[in-house]
Chain A
Amino acid sequence: MTVGYGERVALEAVDLEVATGSLLAVVGPNGAGKSTLLKVICGLLQPWRGKVETLGKEPGRLAKRVAYVPQAEAVDWDFPVTVADVVMMGRYPGLGRLRRPGPLDRRQVSDALGQVDMLEHRGTQIGRLSGGQRRRVFLARALAAEPDLFLMDEPVTGIDATTQEELMDLLESVAAGGRTVIATTHDLACAAARFQTVLAINRRVVAHGPASLILDPDLLAQTYGGHLLTLGGQTVVLDDAHHHEETPHQVHYHEEAPRRR
């Protein structure tokens, strides 16, 4: 499969199969095509060449069984909705036209909020939440949709270690339940420690295999190229978690990046 934006190729000759029930981390430098891959899988982007199947059908055909969680910067945090309202949106596609959410939907919303430990914040306007809490709410929205496939764009970027561990525990149990999780991440330590499999891409597939692969220096060099710096035996990836291609006019900032003291 090959795909791109305008004239620019973003992913080239990607040949990939993800098994049901996988917990897959997609890693690679900025502009490697990580987010693009997710968008192709959920049908937001049409491949230029080649064929993609999601849950055995054309991407987008089974959209209700797929939950896509975009990067946190993509929404207006001043929007007048509460935590519970946002999670309820996960139920909307399954409801069909004209149907209003019922008791079952409200129960699903409460369940999902309970799973991410956000029940007590259900009535809070989303802009008043911390960065980690926002990620929890978006994961809860995905859970409330009861999908078979979770596509998460940077679910653990820029949040505190505790939240990261809790979110990963949840994703782990989702995958253990036979559902598939594909998450992009910049956090290689997290990818190696908490995911089952890893896909290293840099416009092409560099490697796809068990998560321990990512600790191989040769593979890192191939994936990250010039973004890599070796310091006294330790490899440091010089890269940041920015994506400007979607919303060039929006100001975005780092939630819960370390505060200046």
Chain B
Amino acid sequence: MEPLLEPLGFPFFVRALIASVLVGVICAVVGSYVVLKGLAFIGDAISHAAFPGIVAAFILGGSFYIGAGIAAVGTSLAITWVSRRGGLRLDTTIGVLFAGTFALGIFLYSTIEGYVGDLFHLLFGYVLGISAEDLMALVLLGGAVLFLVAVLWKELLYSTFDPLAAAASGIPVARLEYVFIALVAVTIVVSLQAVGIVLVVAMLVTPAATAQLMTARFGRMMLGAILVGSGSAVAGLYLSFWFDVASGASIVLVQTGAFLAALLLGPKSGLLARTARARLDPQPTMRPVRPAAGLAPPTAQSVATTTHPMTPTGEQAAPIDPSLR
């Protein structure tokens, strides 16, 4: 027990532990939607876009959260706005804004004379250095994010799954998209201290992706993501304390380990499960129904019925067997 209890004697470690578990939970909740909406790349872009805001806040002596928040929310809404206008593919827009905003951050950073200290922490996180005030801000902002997701739970789920039908039934899908992307931005800002700009996307995506491999229910996926996210936050933080290594990287590595384990052992994608299935049922995909001996061979007419008039040539009919996915 000693190695587990000893770090708890340090207030900074307790603060860091609370902060990283909170970040793990918030990122898992928001990340479940991010994964299903296919927005992982947007998450990465928003975190990089926060960089110039943080540097500007430092130069002007303002708050870290306000600087990062303005930059991240602004960029996220700009991405959504540009993508809804159309004309360019979404990933193109993101690529441009992603690099552009990050470059602005580096540009601003290079104007600060003789200042290098915190760059490493900004990029890769330093949760062990979190102050009591920063922890308070994390609790408030994170709580607000969780509250909004709880309020919008079913509307977000419906508009993620089937946006057309949801919009037709009166759910304000377009407005929800802006609200959600702003939630992603706030989530990223509160997570920066823990894992940094470069790794924050892992907090959003990896626990949710791990959980998606384990279950076919949305509620359970979110719960699983919360367990993976908070569990790896605790494990990663202890690893970082014991071996004196970077905290953000440790947390993300534990998550990545959990993801790989789910990939190998999970019930759906599980490579082990798949080989086991294949052994039990060597040909699960298609069992061609051959006409029994003695029956007439296919006539011209029956050939014509199998060539569906609505199926253009060259397109394969997709097998429905789920084990093929």
Contact A258 B168 (CB under 8 A): no
Known: A186-B310, A256-B320, A261-B289. Contact between A95 and B154, CB under 8 A?
Answer: yes
**Which of the candidate stretches B2-10, B94-102, B155-163, B177-185 sits at the interface with the other chain?**
B155-163
Bound CA–CA A253/B316 (angstroms): 8
Contact A257 B317 (CB under 8 A): yes
Nearest CB of B to A162, in Å? 15
Per-residue interface assignment for chain B, residues 150 to 179, with 1 indicating a CB less than 8 Å from any chain A CB and 0 otherwise = 010011011011101111111100000000
Contact B217 A44 (CB under 8 A): no
**A241 interface residue, CB < 8 Å from B?**
yes
**Which of the candidate stretches B62-70, B248-256, B301-309 sits at the interface with the other chain?**
B301-309
**A24 interface residue, CB < 8 Å from B?**
no
User: Which label, helix, strand, loop or mixed, suits the secondary structure of the B interface?
Assistant: loop
**Which of the candidate stretches A71-79, A113-121, A172-180, A205-213 sits at the interface with the other chain?**
A71-79
Contact B310 A80 (CB under 8 A): no
Contact B325 A127 (CB under 8 A): yes
Contact A258 B157 (CB under 8 A): no
Per-residue interface assignment for chain A, residues 208 to 220, with 1 indicating a CB less than 8 Å from any chain B CB and 0 otherwise = 0000000000000
Taking CB atoms and an 8 Å cut-off, the chain B residues in 132-155 that contact chain A are 151, 154-155
The one of A75, A130, A237 in contact with B162, judged by C-beta atoms closer than 8 angstroms, is A75
Contact B217 A80 (CB under 8 A): yes
Known: A82-B217, A95-B154. Contact between A75 and B161, CB under 8 A?
Answer: yes
Contact A127 B322 (CB under 8 A): yes
**A57 interface residue, CB < 8 Å from B?**
no
**A49 interface residue, CB < 8 Å from B?**
no
- Chain A contact residue count (CB 8 A cutoff): 59
- Which B residues lie within 8 Å of A63 (CB)? 168-170
**B281 interface residue, CB < 8 Å from A?**
no
Contact B318 A253 (CB under 8 A): yes
**B240 interface residue, CB < 8 Å from A?**
no
- Which B residues lie within 8 Å of A131 (CB)? 320
Place the interface of chain B in its size category: 35 or more
Contact B310 A240 (CB under 8 A): yes
The residue on B at minimum CB distance from A93 is B169
Bound CA–CA A238/B310 (angstroms): 8
Contact A258 B161 (CB under 8 A): no
Contact A125 B320 (CB under 8 A): no
Contact B310 A81 (CB under 8 A): no
**A158 interface residue, CB < 8 Å from B?**
yes
Contact B217 A85 (CB under 8 A): yes
Question: Can you offer 7 A-B residue contacts whose CB atoms are under 8 A?
Answer: A69-B165, A79-B161, A89-B154, A125-B216, A254-B315, A254-B317, A258-B308
Query: Told that A80-B215, A81-B216, A258-B308 touch, could you supply 14 new A-B pairs with CB distance under 8 A?
Result: A44-B164, A70-B165, A80-B216, A80-B221, A81-B157, A82-B216, A92-B154, A158-B310, A240-B311, A254-B318, A257-B318, A260-B316, A260-B317, A261-B289
> Closest 3 A-B residue pairs measured CB to CB?
A63-B170, A68-B168, A253-B318
Q: Which residues of B contact A (CB under 8 A)?
A: 36, 151, 154-155, 157-158, 160-162, 164-171, 212, 215-218, 220-221, 286, 288-290, 305-312, 315-320, 322, 325
